[in-house]
Amino acid sequence: MSGEHVRFVPIKKDSLGRKRFLSKYKAVSEVASIQQLFGLYTHLQNEYAVMEDLDGPQTPYELLGNSFSTNGKASVVDLSRNQRILLCHHVACIVQFLHSRDFIVKVISDKSIFVRKQHEELVPTLTNLDETRSVSQQC
């Protein structure tokens, strides 16, 4: 970490395969455009995932649901039709990548996608993946 803004998300202690899931999620978060997992923090017998903070005032991100106005950090309103289609394509590619790594995303909405402006286009980042499941291809 090099000065990123972080947030601490409580982790349930009794979840099966938790360490394997967190390890796999961390590896995927370094490649895919999803909220990054930097590591684990333990305090007074409680464990927390140290996650990238996408919602802070100092971040370049805007929640997709809020980006439909012109006064945010990143606005969908300012995009051309092709740029909007490209934004949707980016989201589909992220989900496809997660599926290829055996992650099933259960919820995707304008409340689980942040966008940031990069070179005149919006780049999506998926978040709230606590409902995501890691599955095995083996039956």
Task: Give the domain ranges of the chain.
Answer: 6-134
Per-residue pLDDT tens, the chain, 139 aa: give them.
444 688 787 777 666 566 767 777 777 877 888 888 888 888 888 888 888 888 877 888 888 888 887 677 788 888 889 999 999 999 999 988 888 888 888 888 888 899 988 888 889 998 877 666 666 654 4
At 46, give phi and psi (nearest 5°).
Answer: -110, 140
Task: Report the distance separating Cα 12 and Cα 97, nearest Å.
Answer: 26
Task: Report the distance separating Cα 35 and Cα 127, nearest Å.
Answer: 5
pTM for the predicted model, two decimal places? 0.79
Side-chain-facing half-sphere of 61: CA atoms under 13 Å: 23
Percentages helix, strand, coil for the chain, rounded to the nearest 5? 25, 30, 45
Q: What is the pLDDT of residue 42?
A: 85
Architecture of the CATH domain 6-134: Orthogonal Bundle (1.10)
- DSSP code per residue over 87-103: HHHHHHHHHHHHHHTTE
